[in-house]
Every structure is written in structure tokens, then in C-alpha cells.
Amino acid sequence: MRTGIVPIKIVLAGSAATQSAAPKHHHHDLHTLYGQVMHVLNFHRLFMANHWYNWLILLGAIFLGAAIGRALIASLNAVGGRLEKRGWHVQAVLIESLAKPANLAVFSISLLVGLGQLHLNSVLRYAGGKMVVLLIAISVFWYLYNVVETVEIALKGFIQRHETPLTEQMGPIIRKTLRVIVALFAVLFIAQNVFDRDIGSWLAGLGIAGLAVSLAAQDSLKNLFGSLTIFMDRPFLTGQRVTYQGFTGAVEDIGFRSTRLRLFDGTLVSVPNSDIVSGSVQNLSARPFLRRFITLGITYDAGAEKVQQAVKIIRDLLESDVFRGPVHNADDPDDNPPRVYFNDFAADSLNITIYYYYRPVSDYWGFVDFNQRFNLAVMEAFEKAGIEFAFTSRTVYLAGDPKRKLPVYLIKDEAAPPGEQAGG
């Protein structure tokens, strides 16, 4: 008795047979879905249930809405242009931003009117209503998205009144942030009211994801909050000179992550904002004046009269028309006037201390030039008056100096030979 052998066909994954079977199954699914959609739409019944004038009214409503929308765009742009010429920038943006969203809203209403007089089944009526709601929602959020530009215009007006360059940087940042918020609200509103999605689970998921991201990006968040602190507290502005941890330079840019300083040698230094708000920053441009403190030393030979003359020379120079302007506050004469005093007997000199306060602070190289001209004027005046500057020295008094005569005594040495005795 022969044993029957049953042939077995093994089909491997990825074989030609499997690959040929998959497209057939997929094609079958698509065919089934297409059949279901056509059954729901049932165009034959749709055309039979409506007369020709119903379709004509629909087309007329659509064309009429499109025409009204185009006319509305032209009218609103014309009104916005006239407002812009009058200098009403915010009002112009509010009107011009409404043009295209209003066109879409008018088209949506005309489509709703046209579909309302058709005899539709429940599925098509529901889909038509949702489509109209979608278009109106898009038009509303589109207008809000455009209106955000008025925030930047208002900030520019604030800049012109207060001359704060930091606010000029905040304008684009606030505009972009508000537009992102409007876009997120639009997505959530459409998802819930048009597509009937439960956004509660989305928000919960976003909260968990946000927590994970915040933990993974703590340094970035610290820098972000640091930049917000700089914007609100305004310890410095772009273009001002600051000193931070040994770096002295001009603030070139204030970003979300870091603040860039341009040093005087041309080097660009980026400092994290979180470090700046937690450290000490010296704002050199915020000083009301540039103070100079110098000490001039004259020789002890000068005497009291020459010291008084030297003090008077320096005071007269600072009160003269050549030097008075930058070191005196014209609005308040008692606001840090120059000070000149003979204040110390030093080891090598009689010291005269000079304080003066230069304005304006922004003219640093003017301050340097002023110091040079003042120094040269003091030197010339002292030379004419015969007043000598002191320098570190050691004075040795010798016999024979006509100004300082010293008595010299010769002592006779009894132990010396007669021919070698002093004075012998």
C-alpha cells in the first residue's frame, strides 16, 4: 500500500504570490469604499430631486457672492489707502486686513444660501453645513491673524515717542508669538467644531509632551525667560555700552537665547541671557556723565604761593569759554561742577586733585579729545607761570649749592702725622 503524498505549497513573505495578492486586496478595499461613497451621494437621486432652477439659484448665489467679495476687497483696500495717507496706520491695517477674509466669508454665506434651497439627503446636508462652518472659521481666524500686525505698529509708535531700541526688537517677536497662538486656536476650534474631535485628550497629551520637553530643555527655557526679563526690566538697550564679566562692548543684538556684545577690538561675544539676569551688568551708557579724576604733583620748591597759583590756573581753565561747556550742567549749575583742591603732601610732590564731569555720555571720543586739550592747556599755563611738575626723585643736598648752604667743619686728627693733619 503506497502512502499518499499531499503536496504543500509554502508561500514565503515577500514572495511574488504575496506581492500579487496584496494589491488585489487593496484594490478591493478601494472599490468597496468608492461604492459606499457613491451610494451615499447618489447623484442620480440628487439630480432628480431638484429642478433646474434650484441648480441655477445655487450657481447664481455662488457667482453673486464672488462678485460681492471682489467689490468688497476693492472698497476696503481703497478705504485703507486713504486712512494710511492720513497717518492712521492702525485703522488702515484693521480695514485692509478685513478685505480677503471678508471675501471668503461672503462666499461662504452665498454658498450656504445656495445649498439651503437644494433638496439634499441628511449626509450631504450635514457635510455642506460643516463645510460652510469651516470656511467661516477660516475667514475669522484669518482676520485675527492679520490684525496681529497692529501690535507691531503700535510698538513702533511707542518707539518714536520714547526712543527705546529694545522695543523695536520686541515688535517682531510679539507679532510672531501672537500669530502662533491664533493658529493654534484655529486648529483646535476647527478640530472640535468641524471634525467633532475631542480636544481635551489633545490638550492633555500636549501637557505631558510639554512637560517632557521642558525637562529636556531646561537651559533653553532659562535663556528664554532671561530674554523676557531683559525685555521687561530693560537693564540695557541695543547700541549701549556695557561691561559684563570683564567684557566691555556695545550691545549688538538681544535674542531669545543670548545677547551679543561687539567688543572694541571687533570680537563678537555671545552671553546666555540666563547668566546676564543672574549676574551683574554695568551699563556704561546709562551714566549721566563721564567722570575724570586726576592728581597733578608739583615740586616742594614751589612754595605756598605757587601752589595757590596752580590751583587758580586750573580752576580758571575749567571756567573758561574753551572748556566750560562740557563740564558744566547749563540747566543746573550745582550739578557736579568741577572741583580743584590742594589736598596732599606726598613723598615726592605737593598734590592737586582735579575732578570734572563730562557730558554727553554718548560722545566718548569727544571726552578723550577734551582731556587732551585740557592737559596741554595746563602744561602751557604752568610753563608760563614757572611751576614745575614733580616726579619720583631723591634729592641730595651738596655743599656749595647757593640755595642750600651747608656748614662744613674740618676736624683736626691728632693721630695723623703732622704733614697729613687736616687743616695743618
- What does the H/E/C string look like for 49-82? HCCHHHHHHHHHHHHHHHHHHHHHHHHHHHHHHH
CA distance 31 to 43: 18
For residues 149-166, average pLDDT:
63
What pLDDT was estimated at residue 317?
Answer: 93
pTM of the model: 0.47
Q: What are the sequence ranges of the domains in the chain?
A: 43-218, 233-285, 290-385
Terminal-to-terminal C-alpha distance of the chain: 167
Nearest to 135 by CA among 202, 62, 198: 62
Task: Please determine whether the domains at 233-285 and 290-385 fall in the same fold group of CATH.
Answer: no
Using a 10 angstrom Cβ sphere, with 0-12 exposed, 13-18 middle and 19 or more buried, the burial of residue 43 is exposed
Helix (H) or strand (E) holding 353: strand 350-358
CATH architecture for residues 233-285: Roll (2.30)
Question: Given this model, what pLDDT does residue 8 score?
Answer: 42
Distances (CA, A) of 159 to 131, 156, 170, 218, 285: 44, 5, 11, 33, 19
Question: What was the pLDDT predicted at 43?
Answer: 57
Is the distance from CB of 241 to CB of 282 less than 8 angstroms?
A: no
pLDDT digits (tens, 9 = 90+) for 60-117: 888 888 888 888 888 888 888 888 888 787 788 888 888 888 888 888 888 877 777 7
pLDDT in tens, 204-223: 666 665 655 555 455 666 76
Return the percentage of the chain with pLDDT > 70, whole number.
69
Neighbour order of strands in the sheet with 258-263:
268-272, 258-263, 247-254, 241-244, 282-283
CATH 3.30.70.100 fits 290-385, yes or no: yes
Residue 73: name the closest of 102, 105, 109, 110 by CA: 102
- Mean pLDDT, rounded, for 323-351: 88
By CB atoms closer than 10 A (0-12, 13-18, 19+), residue 77 is middle
